[in-house]
Amino acid sequence: MSMGPSTEFFDGSTYITSDYSGIPEVCELPDSSFRKIFQPLVFAVVFVLGMMGNILILVIYILYRKVKSMTDVFLVNLAMADLLWLLTAPFNAMYAVNQWVLGVFICKIFRSLYSINFFSGVLFLTCISIERYIVIVQATSALKLRSATFLFSKIATVVVWVVSIILSIPVMIYSRVERIDEENICQMIFDDSSMVVNLGMQIAQVFVGFVLPSTIMVFCYSIIMGTLLKSRTFKKHKALWVIVALIGMFFVLQMPYSIFLFLKAVGSKSMPCAEKITRMNVEYVTESLAFIRSCLNPVLYAFVGVKFRNDILLVLKDIHCISALRYQERYQSHRSKSSKRFSFMSSGTDSSSLFQL
C-alpha cells in the first residue's frame, strides 16, 4: 500500500517531516518569536566575525605568504569552505523571520551550498588533525617526505571537495519551493521511491559530519598530547590548552546537532504537537551552535600561531590601523617570546604552527 508523498521542508534551517498518507493531526505551530529573534542574531554575529577572520586568512596567504605546506593548503581551503558556508547566513537570517521569497533556483543553490560546506568544513578540520599528527608525532618521516606530504595535501583537498559535492547532489535534486500553510517553504520532497535517499542523507550527515571526524580528531590529538607531555624542552602548557580547545570546540558545537540528526533519523515521524514544537526549538539551537564553528575556526586554527599573529600585525600596519613603530614593538615582542619556545613545526617545516604559541 502506498504511503503517499512525504515532505521534508526547511523552515528557518529546520527540517520537518510530515506524512500525508492518512488524516494528519491538526497541529498549528505558533509564530516562533524565539526563532525570529535568536537565529537572526546568531547568524548576524557569526557572519560578521566569520567573514572578517576567514577573509583575513586569505588576504595573508595571497599578499604576504605562499601556500607551501600541508598546513597552508588545509587552512586556505578551510577558510574558503567557511566563507561559502557563511554566505548562507543572510539567507538563513531572512528565512528565519519570513517565508522563502527567492524562488526555486536560489533555493537549490542555497541548500546545496549549505550542505557542501557542512561536509567540507568538518573534513578539512579532520585533515588538519591528521597533518598535525604527521608533522609532530612522525616528525622525522615528515621531513624526509616533505614533497610527498605536500602532494598528499593537494590530493586530499580535491577528495574532500569531490566527496562533499557528491554527498550534496541529493540536496540539489530534491530541493524545491512548496506552498504550505499559506507560506512558501524551501524544502526537499521525497516520495516512496526516494525515502532511502532521505535516510541515507541523514546517516551521511551523522557519520561523515561527526562520527568519522570526531574519531580521527580524538585519536590524532590524543597521540599529539602524549608526545608533547613527553617533551622536556617544549613549553607545553599553552599548546595542550590549544588542543583541548580544538577538541572541545568541535564536540560542544557539532555534537548536539549531530545527535539531534541521528535521533530524528531513527525516531518516529509522528509525534504530539508539543513534542514537535520542542523538537523544532532544539534544532534551532543545535544548528545555530554548529554554525558558530565557522567564525571560531580562524581563531583556533590560524591566529594562535606566532607567524599568523605577526602577519596580522603587518596587515594592520599596511592599512594604517597601527603605526610602523607600534608594529615593530609588537613584532619584536612576539619574536622574543617565540624564540624562547620550541616549536615542533619549526624544524624544517615552514608553516603556521598551531602549537608555536
Q: What are the tens digits of pLDDT across the range 298-315? A: 877 766 777 777 787 787
Same domain, 72 and 184: yes
Residues 145 and 229 in one domain: yes
320-329 residue pLDDT tens: 776 666 656 6
Separation between Cα atoms, residue 80 and residue 90, nearest integer Å: 17
349 inside domain: no
pLDDT, tens digit (0-9, with 9 covering 90-100), for 203-233: 888 889 889 999 999 999 899 888 888 876 5
Query: Across the beta sheet with 6-10, what order do the strands follow?
Result: 15-19, 6-10, 183-190, 175-180
**Position 246 in a domain:** yes
27 pLDDT more than 50: yes
Residues 178 and 236 in one domain: yes
> Confidence band (pLDDT; 50, 70, 90) for 11?
very low
269 and 339 part of one domain: no
Q: What is the pLDDT of residue 322?
A: 67
Taking 70 as the threshold, does the pLDDT of residue 16 lie above it?
A: no
Residue 187 pLDDT exceeds 90:
no
Residue 243 and residue 321 in one domain: no
Read off the pLDDT band of 236 (50, 70, 90): low
Q: Is residue 355 part of a domain?
A: no
Q: Using the Cα atoms of residue 55, residue 59, residue 60 and residue 61 in order, give the sign of their dihedral.
A: positive
43 three-state secondary structure: helix
Cα 270 to its chain centre, rounded Å, is 31
Burial label for 267, CB within 10 Å (0-12, 13-18, 19+), is exposed
Domain presence at residue 354: no
For residues 213 and 270, state if they share a domain. Answer: yes
Are 176 and 325 members of one domain?
no
User: Which residues have C-beta within 8 Å of that of residue 327, sequence separation ≥ 6?
Assistant: 313, 314, 316, 317
Residue type, 217: M
Q: Which residues contact 74 (CB under 8 A, 6 or more apart)?
A: 124, 127, 128, 131, 153, 156, 157
Q: What angle do CA 16, 19, 20 make, to 5 degrees?
A: 125
Instruction: Identify the band that residue 164 occupies on the pLDDT scale cut at 50, 70 and 90.
Output: very high
pLDDT number for residue 39: 83
pLDDT of 348 reads 38
**Average pLDDT estimate for 183-188:** 81
Counted domains in the chain = 2
Cβ–Cβ contacts within 10 Å for residue 226, how many? Answer: 10
When computed from its CA atoms, the radius of gyration of the chain, rounded to whole angstroms, is 23
Q: Is residue 329 located within the same domain as residue 200?
A: no
What is the rounded CA–CA span in Å between residue 256 and residue 287? 8
Residues 314 and 273 in one domain: no
